């Protein structure tokens, strides 16, 4: 083989190798470009997810603050209601004790009233009996006075008749 041919063969082989390497480089560039594009897309997705996470964290923080406010408000309302109910309980206990005193006094007054009623009944009965006795005495005295008056009239009449017969 002539030396020029070997050189041409070598050049041709190198040219083929260069074409092959350029093709591989093109393929590698396509792969790199595709990987870069996918990386950028993934980076954009990561940034979107980070934005979503930040927004969700902010919503959660606001929801948590709102819930804590509601809890504090409910606790405050409950403590006010408990204080109010304790005051009402105190007032009711005072009223109960006042009613107990009133009930005791009422029972004592009922006992006194019953005793006075019994005593009044006795006094009324005694007065009735006294009136009846007085009526009977008055009747008896009137009868005695009538008897005395008749006797006196009879005596006076007899005395007048005797004097009239004497004169």
pLDDT computed for residue 3 by the predictor: 59
CA atoms within 13 A on the CB side of 150: 5
pTM over 0.85: no
Please tell me the predicted confidence (pLDDT) of residue 42. 94
SS3 for the chain, per residue? CCHHHHHHHHHHHHHHHHHHHHHHHHHHHHHHHHHHHHHHHHHHHHHHHHHHHHHHHHHHHHHHHHHHHHHHHHHHHHHHHHHHHHHHHHHHHHHHHHHHHHHHHHHHHHHHHHHHHHHHHHHHHHHHHHHHHHHHHHHHHHHHHHHHHHHHHHHHHHHHHHHHHHC
How many Å apart are CA 122 and CA 120, to the nearest integer? Answer: 5
pLDDT in tens, the chain (167 residues): 565 678 888 888 889 999 999 999 999 999 999 999 999 999 999 999 999 999 999 999 999 999 999 999 999 999 999 999 999 999 999 999 999 999 999 999 999 999 999 999 999 999 999 999 999 999 999 999 999 999 998 999 888 888 888 76
Measure CA of the first residue to CA of the last residue in the chain; give whole Å.
233
Residue 20: per-residue pLDDT: 92
Tokens of 56: 């969700």
Tokens of 17: 């190798």
């Amino acid at each position: 083989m002539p030396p020029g041919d070997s050189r041409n063969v070598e050049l041709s082989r190198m040219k083929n190798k260069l074409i092959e390497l350029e093709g591989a480089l093109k393929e590698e560039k396509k792969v790199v470009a595709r990987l870069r594009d996918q990386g950028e897309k993934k980076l954009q997705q990561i940034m979107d997810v980070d934005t979503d996470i930040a927004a969700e964290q902010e919503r959660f923080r606001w929801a948590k603050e709102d819930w804590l406010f509601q809890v504090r408000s409910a606790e405050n309302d409950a403590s006010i209601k408990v204080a109010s109910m304790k005051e009402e309980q105190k007032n009711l206990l005072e009223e109960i004790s006042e009613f107990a005193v009133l009930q005791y006094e009422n029972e004592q007054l009922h006992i006194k009233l019953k005793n006075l009623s019994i005593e009044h009944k006795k006094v009324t009965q005694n007065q009735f009996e006294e009136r009846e006795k007085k009526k009977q005495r008055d009747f008896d005295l009137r009868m005695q006075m009538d008897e005395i008056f008749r006797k006196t009239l009879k005596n006076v009449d007899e005395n007048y008749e005797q004097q009239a017969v004497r004169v």
